[in-house]
Amino acid sequence: MDSSFRDVPTATSAAQATVAPLPEWHERIRDYRQGDVVRVEKIPREVATGVVDWVLTPLGAAIITQTCDLVLADRPTAHLVPVVELPAAEAKACRSGRRPNLVHLPALGDCHFADLTYVATVNKEIVVESECTPGVKDIDDIRKFGQRVGRRFSRFAFPDEVVAWLRPLQSMAESKALKDASPIGWALKQVASLRLLCAGDWVNAPHSLTLWVVLEPGVLPPFPSDAEIPGPSEKIAKWLYGEDGAELSRKHGEIAEVLQRETGGSLTAADRFWLWSALAEAWAAMCTPPKSSSAEVAAAVEDGCVYSEIASAEDFSFDQYRRSEEIDLDHLSSPLPI
């Protein structure tokens, strides 16, 4: 045998040499899942370099680490966030995902949420030594919790100049979201997602923007995919656009009021479709910057307006989803890095 191979370890011996002993917590961590709530009194928060503060967690802390990572023995840490209890009225809006930093924990009740504002990294030893309660149980709730945690950390950062255009729409939606009985509050409850599509890139202004109002399944009437959608009745067309049919002449509250009042009533399928289309148009028309805006803000959107489209969540394609960005209601993100 060639002497140059004598000191080379075999694959088996190399593997044996690098196997690390399993941590003491590795068996117990298998009983924990994303969305579980552990009874800890506080979690750490770094407030300055080398300076750690504490966030009190009297209701415990929720695990937001994905379950597949949580149970692995070679990953020693997990991520915890405080559990908070909201007033009933505020909780109602937040359960629908209106506030990305608050994720509902339905197994604890209607008003309990994981607050993603503060995220602490802790050793898994702390997790397994704490009493644990499921925050989510049903498979649909488990899936929704994971999606909303992911959404919090994957949101798109709109350019600052575009944020100024979106503020009026955002402010309207935030102020009306809790008012289910109002026409606008009712209409917002029918919306699955408000999404913004940019026809080009997000780097070079002006941006050609379209607001997509994606509605919950069953809100829009079904039409054959290979057929053209009929136009509105003459009565609805004149009511919306006047005699000349040039511009939308109704405010969003008026349109929402008709839709709410006539749901399941006398509206034809075509009229219902075009009323929702007009409501989306009215919301897109709100997207204008303050008159005092800088020249860069004023020139940020192509044609000086945001266009609109509507779709049912059932028909909104993956490609449209991939090319558009969700407009969150709690705040809009920071600008793109230069």
DSSP string, 16-39: HHHPPPPPTTTTGGGG--TTEEE-
Instruction: Identify the pLDDT of residue 333.
Output: 37
- Residue with the bigger pLDDT between 4 and 48: it is 48
Distance CA 74, CA 5 (A): 32
Instruction: Identify the pLDDT of residue 20.
Output: 65
Which residues are CB-contacts of 132 (< 8 A; sequence separation ≥ 6)?
A: 31, 32, 36, 37, 38, 39
> Which regions of 75-234 does DSSP assign to beta strands (E)?
77-85, 102-104, 112-115, 120-123, 132-134, 191-198, 209-215
Instruction: Identify the pLDDT of residue 336.
Output: 33
Whether pTM > 0.75 for this model: the answer is no
How does residue 47 score in pLDDT terms, banded at 50, 70 and 90? Answer: confident
User: If you search the block for the tokens 């008026």, which residue do you land on?
Assistant: 254
pLDDT(332) > 60: no
Bridge-based pairing state of the strands 307-312 and 132-134: unpaired
User: 146-157, pLDDT tens digit by residue?
Assistant: 888 887 777 777
Fill in the DSSP letter of residue 303. G
User: Chain-wide mean pLDDT for the chain?
Assistant: 86
Q: Is 281 exposed, middle or buried (0-12, 13-18, 19+ CB in 10 A)?
A: buried
How does residue 23 score in pLDDT terms, banded at 50, 70 and 90? Answer: confident
- Residue with the bigger pLDDT between 135 and 6: it is 135
Which of 53, 146, 33 is closest to 97 using CA atoms?
Answer: 146
**What are the domain boundaries of the chain?**
11-154, 160-326
Distance CA 213, CA 311 (A): 7
Instruction: Identify the pLDDT of residue 5.
Output: 43
Distance CA 279, CA 283 (A): 6
User: 156-214, pLDDT tens digit by residue?
Assistant: 778 889 999 999 998 888 777 667 778 998 999 899 889 999 998 898 899 999 999 99
Bridge-based pairing state of the strands 36-38 and 132-134: antiparallel
Torsion 135-330-196-338 (CA) sign: negative
Q: What percent of the chain has pLDDT over 90?
A: 57
User: 300-320, pLDDT tens digit by residue?
Assistant: 999 999 999 999 999 999 999
pLDDT(96) > 80: no
Report for 173-182, 274-283, 321-330: range of highest mean pLDDT: 274-283
Distance CA 100, CA 15 (A): 44
Instruction: Identify the pLDDT of residue 10.
Output: 52
Q: Give the pLDDT mean for 224-242.
A: 89
Give counts: helices (H), strands (E), the chain.
Answer: 12, 13
